[in-house]
Amino acid sequence: MATAPGHAPKYAQLSLIDSIGKKMPLLLVPILVVLGFLLIGSTSSWLTLTVSGLAMGMMIFIMASGLTLVFGLMDVINFGHGAFISVGAYVGISALLALDGWTGAPSLILNVAAVLAAVIAAMCATGALGWGFERVIVRPVYGAHLKQILVTVGGLIVIEQLIQVIWGPDEIYLTRPEMLKGAVTFAGAAIEKYRLLAVVFGLALFVAMRLVLKRTKIGLIVRAGVQNGEMVEALGYRLGLVFIGVFVAGSALAGLGGVMWGLYQEVITAGMGEEMMILVFIVVIIGGLGSVEGAFIGALLVGLLQNYVAFLEPKLALISNIALMTAILMWRPQGMMPVVKAK
């Protein structure tokens, strides 16, 4: 068979600008950090702000990662995700308060053990809650976005109110374990120990999550399911089961994020999940629905920007997130790294 006339395929490389454009989301965080440095001027305040921005971003990422995967896998949008954050914080902090013998002792091992116990308690509680939530609230409304939004908002309210019934309507103040208090001085900048820990922990979690998603069979199924669920099911995998697993894991991560956020703020309220939810949504939208990497970059951007702007122009900090979201959506209407095709 003769080739079509004029058929001369060329394997040209992407031009430099195009390939930078493709990688652009990855460059945004370093660019923002450098910009922050130039605008702030003083190295020590810049370092403090950067670390606290990264810490905040890591915590938001932990909360957002589950939500974006749940959406990607089953096209389920869960407005009740914020409730898991609150529940996690309450359960975790209650455990910490009960273990005050351990947290008050100036011993690193006991302190870490107490925090770990709190984290495990919170993750178990929110994981179980997530399982129940999926069964009772979400299961009957698969495939109907409108109802999903309405019903999960209802679930969010009910859980928040139940928290107030169980723990009382007032906010709970707490102090961090002895060894996590205070700050270390580095290059003239005072950096809170807890923030450093949060950054390290968040980074470790991100790496672990990436490894699971990229290197294991279950990760492969999850990623394939996000891209084309029908095809995965046709190959014989029970995506429904995988979905429940991801939902439970995402809820547990939200609980973990809640504990970390509670320790960061040193106060917890029943409404904290709802407040965090707004940041989480912004992160999920700018990251691109279904994309874990996008959520990671988005969370870091939100955390860093909020801290820089609060330092430079406190009044603008309130709308900095909305401005960021607007800018990113103007640049990429689907978010930075969309995985799920627009429907």
Partner 1 sequence: MLTHLLSGDRPRSLILTVLLLAILAGLAFAPFLFPGVRSLETAARICIFIVLVASYDLLLGYSGIVSFAHTMFFGLGAYGVALASTHMGRGYDALIVGTVLGAIAAALLALLIGLFSLRVRAIFFAMITLAVASAVAVLVSQLSGLTGGEDGLNYSIPRELTPAFRLGKLFDISITGKILNYYLVFFASLALFLLLLRIVNSPFGRVLKAIRENDFRAEAIGYRVVLYRTLATCLSAAVAALAGSLFAIWLRYVGPATTLSFEIMLDILLMVVIGGMGTMYGAVIGATLFVLAQNYLQNLMGVAASATEGLPLIPQLLDPDRWLLWLGVLFILSVYFFPTGIVGRLRSED
Return residues touching partner 1 (CB under 8 A).
77, 79, 137, 140-141, 145-147, 149-151, 153-158, 161-162, 164-165, 169, 274-275, 277-278, 281-282, 284-285, 315, 318-319, 321-322, 325-326, 329-330, 333-334, 342-343
Please say which residue, 21 or 168, places its beta carbon nearer to partner 1: 168
Tell the smallest beta-carbon distance from residue 95 to partner 1 (Å): 22
Q: Is 38 helix (H, G, I), strand (E, B) or coil?
A: helix
Q: Which residue has the tokens 């980074």?
A: 203
Please say which residue, 123 or 325, places its beta carbon nearer to partner 1: 325
Please say which residue, 93 or 156, places its beta carbon nearer to partner 1: 156
CA pair distance 285, 302, nearest whole angstrom: 12
How crowded is residue 232: how many other Cβ atoms within 10 Å of its Cβ?
Answer: 21
Helices (H), 134-238: 145-167, 193-215, 217-227, 229-234
Tell the smallest beta-carbon distance from residue 53 to partner 1 (Å): 19
CA pair distance 200, 195, nearest whole angstrom: 9
Tell the smallest beta-carbon distance from residue 297 to partner 1 (Å): 18
Query: Closest Cα to residue 78, out of 233, 205, 208, 251?
Result: 251
CA pair distance 68, 77, nearest whole angstrom: 9
Tell the smallest beta-carbon distance from residue 221 to partner 1 (Å): 24
Residues 6+ apart with CB under 8 A from 174: 93, 96, 97, 262, 263, 266, 267, 268
Please say which residue, 173 or 331, places its beta carbon nearer to partner 1: 331
Q: Give Cα 60 to chain centroid, integer Å.
A: 4
Widest Cα–Cα separation across the chain: 84
Please say which residue, 149 or 203, places its beta carbon nearer to partner 1: 149
CA pair distance 170, 268, nearest whole angstrom: 9
Please say which residue, 232 or 302, places its beta carbon nearer to partner 1: 302
Helix%, strand%, coil% for the chain, nearest 5 = 75, 5, 20
Please say which residue, 196 or 297, places its beta carbon nearer to partner 1: 297
Tell the smallest beta-carbon distance from residue 277 to partner 1 (Å): 8
Tell the smallest beta-carbon distance from residue 343 to partner 1 (Å): 6
Tell the smallest beta-carbon distance from residue 76 to partner 1 (Å): 11
Strands (E) in the chain, as ranges, are 172-173, 183-186, 189-192, 267-268
Give CA separation, 342 vs 272, 287, 289, in Å: 31, 14, 9
Tell the smallest beta-carbon distance from residue 338 to partner 1 (Å): 9
Q: How many CA atoms lie within 13 A of 211 on its CB side?
A: 6
Please say which residue, 110 or 156, places its beta carbon nearer to partner 1: 156
Please say which residue, 145 or 214, places its beta carbon nearer to partner 1: 145
Tell the smallest beta-carbon distance from residue 334 to partner 1 (Å): 6
How crowded is residue 186: how many other Cβ atoms within 10 Å of its Cβ?
Answer: 13
Q: Is 292 helix (H, G, I), strand (E, B) or coil?
A: helix
